Amino acid sequence: MQKMAKAYTKSTGVKVQVYYSSDTVAAHLATKYASGDPYTISMVDAKDIYSLAKEHAVDLSKESWVSKTDQAISIDGKTYGFPVSVEARGLIYNATAIEKITGKTFDPKDYSTLTKFKELLKELKAGGMTTPTGVLKEDWSLAAHYLPQVYEEQTDPSAFITKLHDGKVDLNKNAKFTSLMNTFDVLKANNYAASSAVSADREVTEQKLAEGQIAFMFGGNWDWSVINQYKYSKNMGIMPVPQNTSDGSNEKLVGGGSKYFMIDSSDHTSDTQRKEAKAFLNWIVDTKAGQSFIVDDCSMVSPFSNNKLAVSDPLSASVKEYADAKKLIPNYNHLPDDHYTILGADFQKYLAGQENRSDLASSIESYWKTAKVSTVSE
C-alpha cells in the first residue's frame, strides 16, 4: 500500500499517505477521534463499521461501485463500508498429496459429507499417511473461525444469538453444533499433533500441509501467506467443511467481505479530502491499475464484479470460484471483541482433551448469557 500510495500521488497529484497501527481498530481510532485528527480513510473490520460508521463515516450509497458488489455494508439503508477483499474459510486441501495415494483425481465435491470424508481419510491412512489432518490451536482459528460457523449456519444467525443470550439454547441438542463438532472430532482424531495439540506450531502445521505430509487443515485463503513460504504443492484449494447435512451448507464456504474502508464525516476532514477519498475508492474499482493493485500486488480476491483479473494463488482461486457461484455462507459480523479470546481458551481445552463436548457447550452458553449482543439494523 505504501508503494501504491507513492505511485497514486505521482499520477494524480493527490497526496496519499499510509499509516499502520498494531493496536485494535476501535482503540486506535478512538485516540484519533479524541485528538481531533481522524484519518480521511480508515481500513477496519466489518464489526467496526457497525459500531463506528453511523457516528463517524460518510454515506456512500450514491457511489457507482455500490452496484458492482454484494459485499458492501449498509446500516439503516445507508452504505458506509467499502469492501476491500473477499476472504473465506473451509477445509484447505493438498490435492497432490491425496492423489499420490489414491491414484485418482481429487474432486472435493465427492467428499462433502462426513461419511465420505471419513472414508477418504481411511484410504489415506491405509496408503501410508498415518495422520492426514492438522488442526491450528490458535484461539482465533478455533473461536473466531470454526466456532462461528455454528452461528452462521443457523437459519437466522442473529435470532439464534439472541436465544443464546437469553439462555434458551441447548447446544448439545442443536443440529449445527452437533454436525460441526462431529467433523471437528474427526479432524482432531486424525491430527498429526494429536498428542500435543495445543503445542503445535502454526508454521509447522502449514508447512506439513504445503509439502504434502498432511492432506487437510481448516483455515482460509489468508493462510497462503504462510503456505507460500515453503515448498508447496501447486494443486491446493479450499473446500466446504464436510458434514452429514441436507441443507446445502456442506456445499458452501463461509465468508464475504474482509476489511472495509470508511471515509470520515467529521469537520476535521474537508469536503475536498472526502471528494478525493471517493475518487480513490473509484480508482480501486474501475481502473486497471486499481484492479491490479488488489489482485496482483496484494494477492487478494476482489469483491467487485467488474474486476475480471485472475487471482494468483490456489486458495484465493477457490474462494473466487465459490463467491462467483454465490456459494458463500455470510460471515456473522457482530461477535463481541472478547469472543475468540474467552471461548478460544475453552476450545483449546477441548482440543487438548481436557474437557468434553458438553463442557464446551456449557462454556459457550454461559459466555453468551452475559455477552453484549448487537442490535444494529442492516
Report pLDDT digits (tens) over 164-204: 999 999 999 999 999 999 999 999 999 999 999 999 999 99
How confident is the model at residue 41, as a pLDDT? 98
CA distance 255 to 192: 27
* Burial state string for 307-323 with b = 16 or more CB within 10 A and e = fewer than 16: beeebebbbbbbbbebb
Q: Calculate mean pLDDT across residues 108-115.
A: 98
CA distance 46 to 44: 7
Q: Can you name the CATH fold of 88-254+332-370?
A: D-Maltodextrin-Binding Protein; domain 2 (3.40.190)
Q: Calculate mean pLDDT across residues 300-326.
A: 94
Residue 280, CA atoms < 13 Å, CB-side half-sphere: 25
How confident is the model at residue 230, as a pLDDT? 95
Residues 153-167 have pLDDT tens digits of 999 999 999 999 999
Tell me whether strands 253-263 and 328-329 are parallel, antiparallel or unpaired: parallel
Q: Calculate mean pLDDT across residues 289-297.
A: 95
CA 194 from chain centre, in angstroms, equals: 25
CA distance 183 to 164: 22
DSSP three-state, residue 219: strand
378 — pLDDT class (breaks 50, 70, 90): low
Residues in the chain, total:
378
Q: Calculate mean pLDDT across residues 44-65.
A: 95
Residues 62-82 have pLDDT tens digits of 999 999 999 999 999 999 999
How confident is the model at residue 4, as a pLDDT? 96
The residues of the chain that CATH labels 3.40.190.10 are 2-86+255-323, 88-254+332-370
Reply yes or no on whether the pLDDT at 375 is more than 70.
Answer: no
How confident is the model at residue 373, as a pLDDT? 85
Reply yes or no on whether the pLDDT at 261 is more than 70.
Answer: yes
Reply yes or no on whether the pLDDT at 61 is more than 80.
Answer: yes
Q: Which CATH architecture has domain 2-86+255-323?
A: 3-Layer(aba) Sandwich (3.40)
CA distance 81 to 262: 5
Reply yes or no on whether the pLDDT at 374 is more than 80.
Answer: no
How confident is the model at residue 24, as a pLDDT? 83
Q: Which residues contact 86 (CB under 8 A, 6 or more apart)?
A: 71, 255, 256, 257, 258, 300, 301, 302, 303, 319, 320, 323, 328
| CB atoms near residue 75 (< 10 Å) | 17
21 — pLDDT class (breaks 50, 70, 90): very high
284 — pLDDT class (breaks 50, 70, 90): very high
